Amino acid sequence: MHDPFYDLFPPPTPPAWVPGELALMTIDMQYMDAHPDGWMGRVARAQGKAHVLEERYAAISAALPRIRRLQDAFRSAGQEVLHARIAFRTKDGREAGRAYMPDPHDQPVAREPFDDEILPEVAPLRDELVFSKTSSSVFSTTDVERVLWNLRIRHLVFSGLVTDGCVELSARDASDRGFRVTLVEDATCASTREAHVDAIQRMTDGGFVVACSTDEAVERLRTLQNGPPPARDGDEATGERGVGL
């Protein structure tokens, strides 16, 4: 759905991709909610409802190689690769509160230590930063904002899951805090295609969050590494830093 309010104003200028100001943030690609053997899958099987999550896991399988491709492209370009995950300090997750998770006393299936682990296909390398959260938005229960400013990051590129939950809330919070935000729409996913598409439409309406594909993101990063193509005769220099979306 489009809000016609935005038709009263010119759209915001899409963000430039500036070396040193970029970071890829991958949200919640961990066993707990992104693998059939994780806690969410175990809950579904215990209730005899494994079919409920079939579309979700299919979407995750499709997004995984794209997320890895993004990570590799950011690493090759010398830009930060960041990770956010759900991780509790208590065994039953009671510190998270009911607003984020079901009441821990109502959960018949216990969480296991491996639920916190990020899937090996997209796991952190070397000293890449991992932010452990107990909220939907990574900004609510971690020090990510302070770290981003310390790193001089001004533009966050989001991937992960779910598009209509933790990804959306993290992206909106980033925008509210003054960061430029890009969503890689085919490297994010949700439990249903409808929820995914609706979230992207909501986030990008008005232009405060910009969407692109994995192919487009990788090409922008390649341009950062190699520089723009040579100007042709008659072309005028724009003086613009980075590569605009």
As a whole-number percent, the residues of the chain with pLDDT over 90 amount to 75
Instruction: Over range 122-132, report the average pLDDT.
Output: 97
- 8-17, 34-43, 74-83, 168-177: least confidently modelled range: 8-17
User: In this structure, are residues 212 and 185 in contact, taking their beta carbons and an 8 Å threshold?
Assistant: yes
Instruction: Over range 84-95, report the average pLDDT.
Output: 85
**Residue ranges per structural domain of the chain:** 19-94+107-227
Instruction: Over range 115-126, report the average pLDDT.
Output: 97
Task: Give the tens place of pLDDT for each residue, 96-115.
Answer: 766 556 665 566 788 899 99
pLDDT for 243: 32
pLDDT for 237: 37
Distance CA 227, CA 201 (A): 32
- 2-11, 70-79, 125-134: least confidently modelled range: 2-11
Tell me the pLDDT band of 242, cut-offs 50, 70 and 90: very low
pLDDT at residue 230 tops 70? no
Distance CA 96, CA 112 (A): 16
DSSP character string of the chain: ---GGGGGSPPPPPPEE-TTSEEEEEE--BHHHHSTTSHHHHHHHHTT-GGGGHHHHHHHHHHHHHHHHHHHHHHHTT-EEEEEEE--SSTT-GGG-TTTS--GGG-SS---GGGGSBPGGG---TT--EEEESSSSTTTSSSHHHHHHHHT--EEEEEEE-IIIIIHHHHHHHHHTT-EEEEEEEEEE-SSHHHHHHHHHHHHTTSSSEEE-HHHHHHHHHHHHH-PPPPPTT-------SEE-
pLDDT for 14: 84
Q: Which of these, 169, 167, 205, lies nearest to 183 by C-alpha position?
A: 167
- 50-54, 145-149, 222-226: least confidently modelled range: 222-226
pLDDT at residue 240 tops 80? no
Tell me the pLDDT band of 91, cut-offs 50, 70 and 90: confident
Burial readout 189-201 (b: 16 or more C-beta within 10 A, e: otherwise): bbbeeebbebbbe
Distance CA 123, CA 102 (A): 27
Task: Give the tens place of pLDDT for each residue, 166-193.
Answer: 999 999 999 999 999 999 999 999 999 9
Give the list of residues 6+ apart from residue 76 with CB closer than 8 angstroms, or none. Answer: 221, 225
pLDDT for 228: 61
User: In this structure, are residues 203 and 168 in contact, taking their beta carbons and an 8 Å threshold?
Assistant: yes
Statement: 19-94+107-227 belongs to CATH 3.40.190.10:
no
pLDDT for 69: 98
pLDDT for 122: 98
pLDDT for 45: 96
pLDDT at residue 86 tops 60? yes
Query: What pTM value is reported for the model?
Result: 0.89
Q: Which of these, 67, 34, 61, 21, lies nearest to 213 by C-alpha position?
A: 67
pLDDT for 232: 53
User: In this structure, are residues 218 and 70 in contact, taking their beta carbons and an 8 Å threshold?
Assistant: yes
